[in-house]
A and B are shown apart, each in its own frame.
Chain A
Amino acid sequence: MTRSARLAAQGLAVALVVGLLALLIWRVANDSNKGVSQALNDGQHPTAPPFDLSRLDGRGRIDLASLRGKKPIVLDFWASWCVPCIHESKRLEAARKQYGDRVAFIGVDTKDFSGDARRWQRKHGITYPSVHDGSGGVLAKWGGLPIPRIFFVARSGKVVGELVVEEDLPRYLRQIAAS
């Protein structure tokens, strides 16, 4: 092997190692971003990450960004295999009777089988529309597992909070309904 060929091979090997190292650093940096939930814990109020997903009931799609400036939103991440989701979704369904004209209630069925999800909605009497996020890509941007996760988005599109304790539901609903 000539000297120039050897140098080229060594340069290629070093470039490969540097490239893989950069990829590793990028992944670690991205993984450290826990999404909306982490931002809220850090005291920030980020803009709601947009999504455009098919509705579970087959009536078209829901584009979250299209609601910005029009209506505040309650976003409920759930799945039919998630037992605690039943209680939280029923609470939202009840709250919808009071706030449904001023606030949009949207469910995000995540990492779930859509047939089971539809049956689950019927069984538990959940009537607010849900979209299907089978891969969990949208959930990841909002904070990932575990679920249920319920977020409150003001009319401006800023996320004002996440439900942590039961009392958060009426408090945040009043806040976003007035936004």
Chain B
Amino acid sequence: MRVLVVVFMAAVLAVPVAHASERHPTLDELEGEVMCPVCGTTLDQSSSPAAQQIKRVIASRIAAGDTKSQIKNQLVAEYGDAILAAPQHKGFGLLAWWLPIAGIIAAAAIVGAGAWRWSRRREPLLAGPPLDPALEARLNDELRRFDD
């Protein structure tokens, strides 16, 4: 229960943070979300002239008051989808976001079903054959005497 409350509170607190990031993005965060088109790394890991150029463009768009989505859309219009470090949350890009989650859920379901079947199959073996009534009565007597 406590874990659920923590998760809920984290989700509630994350919403305004994400909203602020969308409306007032910083160069630092966008540098980690945009690729350098000639080096195969994100902008924050590159000092190539091409990366410097995009950093300047992003800085000027931030100064002009653009939102994060507007800046990213402008970069995609110029360089194509590959300029973004992560696929977009729309169209074909959705597949990249949901396929791993679906895979994890499917794998968990298969493992869970397998574990359940495995535990059920071994249940009768653990229970063993029924005790002889005479032996059971004697065992009960012994246990009662032990308790007394």
Contact = CB atoms under 8 A, between A and B. Distances in A.
A4 interface: no
Given A111-B38, A113-B57, A145-B38, A83 B80 contact: no
Interface residues of A, number: 17
B53 A116 contact: yes
B49 A81 contact: yes
Interface in B51-83: 52-54, 57, 77-80, 82
A121 interface: no
Most B-side CB within 10 Å, residue of A114, A135, A137:
A135
B49 A134 contact: no
Interface in A124-138: 132, 134-137
- How would you classify the secondary structure of chain A's contact residues: helix, strand, loop or mixed? loop
B53 A113 contact: yes
Interface in A97-124: 111-116
A36 interface: no
B50 interface: yes
Nearest to B82: A135
Nearest to B49: A81
A79 interface: yes
Nearest to A114: B78
Interface size class, chain B: 10 to 19
A111 B50 CA distance: 8
A116 B80 CA distance: 17
A82 interface: yes
A137 B37 CA distance: 11
A139 to B, nearest CB: 10
Given A114-B78, A134-B77, 13 more contacts: A79-B50, A80-B53, A81-B50, A81-B53, A83-B49, A111-B37, A112-B53, A113-B54, A116-B53, A132-B78, A134-B80, A135-B82, A137-B80
22 contacts: A79-B50, A80-B53, A81-B48, A81-B49, A81-B50, A81-B52, A81-B53, A82-B49, A83-B49, A112-B50, A113-B53, A113-B57, A113-B78, A114-B78, A115-B57, A116-B57, A134-B77, A134-B78, A134-B79, A135-B79, A135-B80, A136-B37
Interface of A: 79-83, 111-116, 132, 134-137, 145
